Amino acid sequence: MTANSYGFDTLAIHAGQEPDPRTGAVVPPIYQTSTYAQDAVGAPRLGYEYSRSQNPTRDALQECLAAIEGGRRGLAFASGLAAEDTLLRTVCRPGDHVVIPNDAYGGTFRLFSKVAERWGLDWTAVPLDDLDAVRAAFRPGHTRMIWAETPTNPLLNIADIAALGGLAHEYDAMLAVDNTFASPYLQQPIALGADVVIHSTTKYLGGHSDVVGGALITADAGLGDELAFHQNAMGGVNGPFDAWLTLRGIKTLGVRMDRHCDNAERIVGYLREHPAVGQILYPGLDDHPGHETAAKQMSRFGGMVSFRAAGGPEQAMAICNRTKLFVLAESLGGVESLIEHPGQMTHLSAAGSALEVPADLVRLSVGIETIDDLLTDLEQALG
């Protein structure tokens, strides 16, 4: 099943998920097995030998991921960072260079600065919405990749995927896009020129805060094959039950994202009028510097909202501590609403670096609860 033949929601429900040929079960079985009986020496049945290498439940998820992102190959991993690490060590070599966002996710920054750098990979952080800055950061012959997030975590900046893809390819480099915040329902980077898409499937794809996972989806089958080799060789795969939970979550991604967006837009409208709120960071706002680009490459603007507390860092932390429905927790993209203080939580690893986030920043992952209840909770928390 491909994006050319079916709509998004149909692919989310059916791609890789044909009824089980043995029993007719409409939901793919959980193949909770580590190994497989072989018909003869060197003759594994349907190619299945060992579940690190292949597993039917993970295969179903991978086929679905490729379909909903419009890619040639989908690969599922134990976490988003396992997917990121596999990508870097597949396409880069010691001595290579990567351009990354100057407001990347804290875990991604930690991977580059504390792990990949020791392996010999160099990197430069620049604002990816400034194409001149991106071009200036390139080292011809050494820059292997532009690593983009859009929207970024947690400042919700927007990068022009098509423009970055053109720039990367001009220098014989590739463009990797972390599409976690938007999800493939709102944005499809491969259609815009990305070579590979990254997801923390823990977030919107899983959607229920009950499973950790990651994914890579490639535009090119050859790159997909290389990544599949390293997926097996490095072993950072997800288990069959985790794959099944993620696949279950994807089935309702479209309807959930519509509600996430509806609720986020209402909350942004409320926050704009509240005296305790300073700057609001949301690409759906007309005065957001990336609004025009976001409107061009996204169907809607997502369920993530960040804002700066007018009263400074202490007020920001107090707001986080006072909510009742908004759960104080890291992560995002689940059906329940979450609130966090990025500077002390998800982005603490970036403290003291060029990627340090403002201390007065609050990040909301807006869930799908009744909107009036969420607004009431924010009202009492903002004071």
Known catalytic residues are 52, 105, 178, 203
Residue 230 identity (one-letter amino acid): H
Residue 305 identity (one-letter amino acid): V
Instruction: Report strand pairing: 327-328 vs 338-340.
Output: parallel
Question: If you count them, how many residues does the chain have?
Answer: 383
What residue has token string 């010999």? Answer: 120
What distances in angstroms separate CA 63 from CA 112, 194, 279, one per listed residue?
29, 19, 41
What distances in angstroms separate CA 143 from CA 87, 167, 170, 217, 367, one per listed residue?
15, 12, 11, 21, 39
DSSP element (H, E) containing 162? helix 161-170
CB 98 within 8 A of CB 125: no
Torsion of CA 302, 303, 306, 309, to 10 degrees: 140
The span from the CA of 190 to the CA of 176, in Å, is 9
Residue 256 identity (one-letter amino acid): R
Full strand arrangement of the beta sheet holding 327-328: 277-281, 304-309, 361-365, 338-340, 327-328
